[in-house]
Structure 1
Amino acid sequence: MWTVALSQLRTQPRRYVSLVLAILIGTLFLAASFLVSSTAQATLRATLGSTYAGADLVVLPSGSEDVSDLAGTSAEPGPLARLDGVEEAYALRMAWATARAADAEFGTTVMPLPRDPALAGLTVTAGALPAADDARGVTLDAQTADRHGVAVGDVVTLASESGPDSTTTPVDAVVTGLTQPSPDPMLSGQAQVWASPAALTAVQGEDGQAGFTPHLLLRLADGADVPAVAEAARAEATAAGVDVDVATPDEAVRSAVTQLSGGTDLLGWVLGGFAALALLVTALVIANTFQVLVAQRTRDLALLRTIGATTAQVRASVLAEAAVVGVVGSVLGAGLAVAIVAGVAAAARAMLDLPFLTFGLHPVGLAVSVAVGVAVTVLAALAPAVAATRVAPLEALRPRDEVTAGSRGGRVRTAVGLVLAVGGTALMLGGVSVREPVSAIGGGALSFVGVLLLARLFVPAAVRGAAVLARPAGVPGRLAGLNAIRHRSRTAATAAALLVGTTLVALFLTGGRTAQEQTALALDTAYPVDLVVQLPADADPARAAEAVAATADVQAVALATPVGTTENGSPVLATPAADLRAVVARLPEGVTGLGDPGTALVPDWVDTDQVRAEVVGTARMFVPVRAGSLSSGVYVAAEPLHEAGWDGAAGAAVPGQLLVALDPGVPVDRLQGLSEDVTRAAGAGAAVIDGGAGEHALYARIIDAMLGIVVALLAVSVLIALIGVANTLSLSVIERTRENALLRALGLTRGGLRGTIAIEAVLIATVAAVLGCALGVLYGWAGAQLVLADLSATAGAGTAVRPAVPWLELGLVVAVAALAGLAASLLPARRAARLSPVAGLAAV
């Protein structure tokens, strides 16, 4: 029967266009889910994980403990450096300094180079890295060097920002090389200086441990047992009294995203959900299209049986066709997914200035997608093939009656559809309420299958109702509405592909918009202040605040004057209440009292009910107002202190600060220059010591880029679905050849026939798009509630996620679907109108 199957493919290729498109759409979704996942991982590795990329293991402190002693120095290795299998333990100690080059002065972050430069993840663009024993050699990032006219060989004077009691002297360092700026959000907003250990000691003084150490990087020996070394490192840290997490670079990146998401692996949820949804859509679209195709071939299959083909041979022929078409469609779908994801990533990288957006190929995922496409196609063909060969050949050759809701098959279909739709929806909502993913996703899938089974009931009725709008078109408008009711299965089959496509688009638009808003809320609460600038000891604070406020892209500035310390030594700074409220991006919902008398703004890890502090010589108690990761000090309202007699003078031997809020939407590549503009305006010696501007901008850009790729994929899939609508309309016109000829014989003009088919297509497309958007909003909200509830709770907004419905985009989807339905009808309508009534009536 291979000969029969291949002859069918050769002689009637147009019959298989809709099936190939269905397989292509399904495989495209599945392959794209793997590619978006690998692209997201590659992008996160290039940004959040750029400083981890050269390591085998990353040691992350669980709190604010200093972990640098665990690594030690090259002269005195720490306990982790002495572990079996560890070649190097590197502590990224970040210190701050003021750099002077020619007439320029700017703040920098100074970091030590490891013995193996690959651990730092640096890319040298000019010159070379300094030697380990070069006491004056440093590198500077190329962006800063270009902005200030620094070249390889120039001298840059580095003055330590260790504080007013520092005894260090400025060091005249020589720039031995330029490096590509790091996209790490902790570094992206600052000038980056990498120094040899000898040069770093010279800049920082003899206290080589000064600075902030966010993590340790371990480089292992070849063949080392990574899990065993990780466990040994964890045990050594515990013995030293430090609580750490030891992870691979990829695990560390995912941990950072999870920490931002309030303990939820947001990336894994989104990408895993996308893959599961893609698999479901693949099965539904292929199965539905193949059932229509085999149903249309019932007479052909019956004829084969009348001339001697056995039931097994007929089934084998159908399955052979399915296998061939499945391979073709699946390979095309996987290839198109690669082209789309790579193309969108390249376009976003160029047009949106996202150099860190990295396309990640997933060969295993592509192979799985092709295999799933072929397997689902063969399985989808099995049931229709069995059903088509169960009836007697002579009975199958007779015209087949429409399966109506009142027939036995229709009643069974309706009952099953109702059970799946209602039960699946209840299961989905129940799973969402308790955040149980299996029941929520499974219930959503079952409810959507139920909706598709019930499509023969409500889609034709909805089209008939919408046909009221076509009455001004006269007879063609009325005929289009009547056709939807008379041929329910055909109407439902035509609308099915578009219903699936628009449901997915609305789902991801609604879920994506909701995720954007919830992520923005989480970022605002996690990083409440964009920049914290430490003022030099001899600065005029008021003039510095005015100068910074006049800087471009600065929205608000609050002057923080040191007035004391807490019982654990943290500085307490007084800020005008209105200014403090202006610079704090957002507090968690339900958190109030910012700037009120007797309250203090503290980091969210402070778990005491009261903060004890010595303020302007008096012991005071403050009620904590917790806000994100701001750890540069404790901030209280200045007005109550003035009322108590404070004259506004600094009451502690620590520098004053400026809390700076930036304009919304400042791009990542502008942050470094903006930080320099701010510190320059604040005065010589000012430095950025805290703030979440870099993290906020980078997270937002990554999320926007990933969402853009997904939406682009969905848009392409809808266009492909519309091609499937055009093909289904063509098959419908072929089926209705005699019917159309009879209408022509009764007086309907060619224009009237074209109008009937065009109006019917527009009505079906519009109704499918509207229903798909409604379903997509429901499923999008359910998915957002399931995935983002913990994130919303972390931001203080409660666990009930408010959906963000993109009304404008959904309206555009409906309008585009209507226009595309009209375009899809042009060729079938033209073909039907060109056939003469006599020839049409003679057709069998």
Structure 2
Amino acid sequence: MWTVALSQLRTQPRRYVSLVLAILIGTLFLAASFLVSSTAQATLRATLGSTYAGADLVVLPSGSEDVSDLAGTSAGPGPLARLDGVEEAYALRMTWATARAADAEFGTTVMPLPRDPALAGLTVTAGALPAADDARGVTLDAQTADRHGVAVGDVVTLASESGPDSTTTPVDAVVTGLTQPSPDPMLSGQAQVWASPAALTAVQGEDGQAGFTPHLLLRLADGADVPAVAEAARAEATAAGVDVDVATPDEAVRSAVTQLSGGTDLLGWVLGGFAALALLVTALVIANTFQVLVAQRTRDLALLRTIGSTTAQVRASVLTEAAVVGVVGSVLGAGLAVAIVAGVAAAARAMLDLPFLTFGLHPVGLAVSVAVGVAVTVLAALAPAVAATRVAPLEALRPRDEVTAGSRGGRVRTAVGLVLAVGGTALMLGGVSVREPVSAIGGGALSFVGVLLLARLFVPAAVRGAAVLARPAGVPGRLAGLNAIRHRSRTAATAAALLVGTTLVALFLTGGRTAQEQTALALDTAYPVDLVVQLPADADPARAAEAVAATADVQAVALATPVGTTENGSPVLATPAADLRAVVARLPEGVTGLGDPGTALVPDWVDTDQVRAEVVGTARMFVPVRAGSLSSGVYVAAEPLHEAGWDGAAGAAVPGQLLVALDPGVPVDRLQGLSEDVTRAAGDGAAVIDGGAGERALYARIIDAMLGIVVALLAVSVLIALIGVANTLSLSVIERTRENALLRALGLTRGGLRGAIAIEAVLIAAVAAVLGCALGVLYGWAGAQLVLADLSATAGAGTAVRPAVPWLELGLVVAVAALAGLAASLLPARRAARLSPVAGLAAV
């Protein structure tokens, strides 16, 4: 039978085109999900993990502790640098300074260069990095250099932003090279200066600011035992009284994303669910397509049986064809997935100004996709092959009776469908309520299979109801409605492909839109204030606030006046409650709490239930309203202080601040220039000391880019549905050969026959799309509730996730599905109309 199978493939290749396309697209869908995952990981490594890329281990503080001493001090190496297997322990200590070059003045972040420059992940675009002992050598990022006309060899004066009692003096540094701006969100929108250790010491001075160290990077010796060194580093940090997490670069990136999404591995679950649904779609479409192919070969298979082939040999022949076609379609699908995802990533980099978007190849995922494509093809071909060999050779030449809902097979199908639909839905909702992913996803898949089994009950009835819209078309319109009821199984089979496709599209549109809204809420919570500007001691605060408010792309400004300090020395600043609400994005407990007496806006690392502070000479207790990453002070409403007799004068010897909210949608590449515009408007000596505008904008762009790729890949499901509809319509034309011929003999024109088939296809497609959109919204909400509940709770919106239903997009889905049904009917309708009545009546 191997020879028979190969001869079929050689002599009738056109018969297998639709099958190859179905396998190709299904495998493409699955492979693309792996590639989206690897591309997302590569992009995250290029952004969140750009500063981790050259390290073997990353040491992350669990709280606000300073971990720089673990790497070393001016007195010598620290405990982590002395560990066996550690070549270098590097502390990324960020120091804020004001830079002056020619006529320009701008704020900048100054960072030390490691001994091994690869640890910093720098790309030199001009000149060279300074030598370690060069006390004046620095590099500047190329974007800032271009904006201010700084070239290699120019002198830049760096003045550390230290306290008023500091004795540090400005340092005239020489720019030895220009570097590519770091895509790290923490550095987004900032001028970046990398200095040799000697130059950094000169900038900081003995009593200059110590800076901020977000993490340590460890470079290990060749052959070092990474887990053993990680455990030793953890133990050394604990002995030093510092609680840290030691992770590989990839683990650190994943941890950052998980922390951002409220403790949930959002990316992993979304892409894992995408792959699982892709596998389900692939299996359904291939099985449906193979059923059509076997139906078209009924006579051939019957002939093989009459000349002596056994049922086992016929099944082996069909399965051999399935395996060969599966290999061809799967390899083509995996290759096309690589081309599409790489092309989309390249186009996004060029057209959407997303240079950090990085294509990631997933060899294992591609191999799994090919293997799954072949296995699913063979398994999908098994049932049709068995069904084709169950009847006697002569009986196979006659039309088979349809399995109706009242027959034994129909009752079994209905009972199983009800159990799966009801039981699966209950399991899904239960899993969602207790946040158990396996139960929720498994229950959702079972319920959807149940819906497909029950489709022959409700889809034909829905099509019949929608057929009233086709009555103006006359006889073809009435025939289309009647056929939906007379051939329930065929109607349900035709609708199944589009039902699957539109359900997937609606699921991801609803889940994606909900995820975008929840992520925006989480980003607003994590980065509640766009910019915090520290005013110079001699500034006129009111005039500075007015000047900043008049700056382009600034939405609101709040003046914060120092009124005291907390027990741990953090400054307390008073701001009019309405102004504070205007500049704060969104907070866990809601911005309305800021106007209540006795509340204070504090950084999220403050874990006490009350904040004690000395305010305007009086000890006061405040209920904290935590504000994400904001760490430049504690902010209270001014009105209660005025009622207590405060005259508005500064009550502490620290500079005042301006809290600035920017217009929505400010591009990332505009943020650095905008920060400089704001500080320039605030007056000489003003500096941006805090704020999450850059981080929030860059995180949002990363998420939008990933969702954009996923949404683009959903167009594949429309192609899958189109092939499924065309296949089942082809089967219906074969089954209705005598019926169509009889209609022609009774006077129905060729145009009328084509119209009846086309209207039937449009009605089935539109009804399937509406039902699929309803199911997709339900499943999309369930998925969002499962994945985003923790994120929503972190953002202060409770654990009940409100679905964001994209009504306009769903309307377009229904319209496109109807057009896809019309397009899929063209060839079958043309084939049916070309057959003469006499030939059709004699065909079966």
Please give the TM-score of this superposition, normalised by the length of structure 2: 0.98
Which deviates more from structure 2 when the two are superposed, residues 622-631 or residues 196-205? Answer: 622-631
Which deviates more from structure 2 when the two are superposed, residues 662-671 or residues 705-714? Answer: 662-671
How far did 1:15 drift?
Answer: 3.3
- The CA deviation string for residues 113-169 of structure 1, in whole angstroms up to 9 with x for no partner, is 000111001111111111111111111111111111111111100011012121100
How far did 1:771 drift?
Answer: 1.1
Asked if 1 retains the 8 angstrom alpha-carbon contact of 2:166 and 2:208, the reply is no
Match of 2:504, SS state, is: helix
CA distance in 2 between partners of 1:466 and 1:13 (Å): 39
How far did 1:208 drift?
Answer: 7.7
- The CA deviation string for residues 477-500 of structure 1, in whole angstroms up to 9 with x for no partner, is 011111222222222222222111
Asked if 1 retains the 8 angstrom alpha-carbon contact of 2:285 and 2:724, the reply is no
Match of 1:529, SS state, is: coil
Match of 1:661, SS state, is: strand
Name 1:739's counterpart in structure 2: 739
CA distance in 2 between partners of 1:627 and 1:201 (Å): 33
How far did 1:284 drift?
Answer: 2.4
Which deviates more from structure 2 when the two are superposed, residues 449-458 or residues 49-58? Answer: 449-458
Which deviates more from structure 2 when the two are superposed, residues 177-186 or residues 70-79? Answer: 70-79
Which deviates more from structure 2 when the two are superposed, residues 765-774 or residues 537-546? Answer: 537-546
Asked if 2 retains the 8 angstrom alpha-carbon contact of 1:201 and 1:207, the reply is no
CA distance in 2 between partners of 1:545 and 1:711 (Å): 43
Match of 1:774, SS state, is: helix
Match of 2:591, SS state, is: coil
Name 1:653's counterpart in structure 2: 653
Match of 1:293, SS state, is: helix
How far did 1:48 drift?
Answer: 0.8
Asked if 1 retains the 8 angstrom alpha-carbon contact of 2:289 and 2:724, the reply is no
- The CA deviation string for residues 769-808 of structure 1, in whole angstroms up to 9 with x for no partner, is 1111111111101100110011111111111111111000
Change (3 A) 1:545 1:591: closer
Which deviates more from structure 2 when the two are superposed, residues 173-182 or residues 73-82? Answer: 73-82
CA distance in 2 between partners of 1:13 and 1:74 (Å): 76
Match of 2:76, SS state, is: coil
Which deviates more from structure 2 when the two are superposed, residues 42-51 or residues 272-281? Answer: 272-281
How far did 1:739 drift?
Answer: 2.1
How far did 1:648 drift?
Answer: 2.6
Asked if 2 retains the 8 angstrom alpha-carbon contact of 1:572 and 1:635, the reply is yes
CA distance in 2 between partners of 1:465 and 1:127 (Å): 74
CA distance in 2 between partners of 1:726 and 1:720 (Å): 10
Asked if 2 retains the 8 angstrom alpha-carbon contact of 1:476 and 1:755, the reply is yes
Change (3 A) 1:830 1:589: farther
CA distance in 2 between partners of 1:452 and 1:74 (Å): 70
- The CA deviation string for residues 519-571 of structure 1, in whole angstroms up to 9 with x for no partner, is 11111112111111111222221121111111111111111111111111111
- The CA deviation string for residues 273-303 of structure 1, in whole angstroms up to 9 with x for no partner, is 2122222222222223323433443443232
- The CA deviation string for residues 43-62 of structure 1, in whole angstroms up to 9 with x for no partner, is 10011111111111000000
Asked if 2 retains the 8 angstrom alpha-carbon contact of 1:283 and 1:376, the reply is yes
- The CA deviation string for residues 608-666 of structure 1, in whole angstroms up to 9 with x for no partner, is 23221112222222222222221110111223333433333322222211111111111
Match of 1:367, SS state, is: helix
1:427 and 2:432 are equivalent in the alignment: no
- The CA deviation string for residues 659-706 of structure 1, in whole angstroms up to 9 with x for no partner, is 111111112222111111111111222222111112211111111111
How far did 1:588 drift?
Answer: 1.8
Asked if 2 retains the 8 angstrom alpha-carbon contact of 1:85 and 1:225, the reply is yes
Asked if 1 retains the 8 angstrom alpha-carbon contact of 2:97 and 2:108, the reply is yes
Change (3 A) 1:13 1:454: farther
Name 2:300's counterpart in structure 1: 300
Asked if 2 retains the 8 angstrom alpha-carbon contact of 1:601 and 1:624, the reply is yes
Which deviates more from structure 2 when the two are superposed, residues 728-737 or residues 233-242? Answer: 728-737
Structure 1 unaligned regions, length at least 5: none
CA RMSD in angstroms comes to 1.6
How far did 1:591 drift?
Answer: 6.7
How far did 1:460 drift?
Answer: 1.8
CA distance in 2 between partners of 1:693 and 1:127 (Å): 31
- The CA deviation string for residues 88-133 of structure 1, in whole angstroms up to 9 with x for no partner, is 0000000100000010000000000000111001111111111111
Q: Percent identity?
A: 99
Asked if 1 retains the 8 angstrom alpha-carbon contact of 2:95 and 2:110, the reply is yes
Change (3 A) 1:295 1:423: farther
Asked if 2 retains the 8 angstrom alpha-carbon contact of 1:292 and 1:493, the reply is no
Match of 2:551, SS state, is: coil
Which deviates more from structure 2 when the two are superposed, residues 396-405 or residues 418-427? Answer: 396-405
How far did 1:589 drift?
Answer: 4.7
CA distance in 2 between partners of 1:296 and 1:421 (Å): 32
Asked if 1 retains the 8 angstrom alpha-carbon contact of 2:160 and 2:209, the reply is no
Change (3 A) 1:452 1:10: farther
Asked if 2 retains the 8 angstrom alpha-carbon contact of 1:68 and 1:209, the reply is no
Structure 2 unaligned regions, length at least 5: none
How far did 1:370 drift?
Answer: 0.3
How far did 1:197 drift?
Answer: 0.4
How far did 1:74 drift?
Answer: 7.3
Which deviates more from structure 2 when the two are superposed, residues 55-64 or residues 618-627? Answer: 618-627
Change (3 A) 1:465 1:837: same
CA distance in 2 between partners of 1:14 and 1:467 (Å): 35
Which deviates more from structure 2 when the two are superposed, residues 784-793 or residues 286-295? Answer: 286-295
Match of 1:393, SS state, is: coil
Match of 1:593, SS state, is: helix
CA distance in 2 between partners of 1:56 and 1:78 (Å): 18
Match of 1:510, SS state, is: helix
How far did 1:42 drift?
Answer: 0.4
How far did 1:209 drift?
Answer: 7.4
Asked if 2 retains the 8 angstrom alpha-carbon contact of 1:190 and 1:676, the reply is no
Change (3 A) 1:790 1:459: same
Asked if 1 retains the 8 angstrom alpha-carbon contact of 2:108 and 2:192, the reply is yes
Match of 1:523, SS state, is: helix
Which deviates more from structure 2 when the two are superposed, residues 7-16 or residues 432-441? Answer: 7-16
Which deviates more from structure 2 when the two are superposed, residues 738-747 or residues 720-729? Answer: 720-729
Any residues of structure 2 matched to 1:310-389 within 5 Å, and which?
310-389=310-389
CA distance in 1 between partners of 2:296 and 2:488 (Å): 15
Which deviates more from structure 2 when the two are superposed, residues 6-15 or residues 209-218? Answer: 6-15
Which deviates more from structure 2 when the two are superposed, residues 209-218 or residues 734-743? Answer: 734-743
Which deviates more from structure 2 when the two are superposed, residues 696-705 or residues 286-295? Answer: 286-295
Match of 1:724, SS state, is: helix
How far did 1:216 drift?
Answer: 0.3
Asked if 1 retains the 8 angstrom alpha-carbon contact of 2:168 and 2:207, the reply is no
How far did 1:821 drift?
Answer: 1.6
CA distance in 1 between partners of 2:128 and 2:413 (Å): 72
Q: Number of residue pairs matched?
A: 844
Change (3 A) 1:396 1:838: closer
How far did 1:716 drift?
Answer: 2.7
Name 1:239's counterpart in structure 2: 239
1:784 and 2:778 are equivalent in the alignment: no
Match of 1:594, SS state, is: helix
How far did 1:438 drift?
Answer: 0.9
- The CA deviation string for residues 392-424 of structure 1, in whole angstroms up to 9 with x for no partner, is 333333331111111221111111111111111
Which deviates more from structure 2 when the two are superposed, residues 84-93 or residues 327-336? Answer: 327-336
How far did 1:391 drift?
Answer: 2.9
Which deviates more from structure 2 when the two are superposed, residues 711-720 or residues 88-97? Answer: 711-720
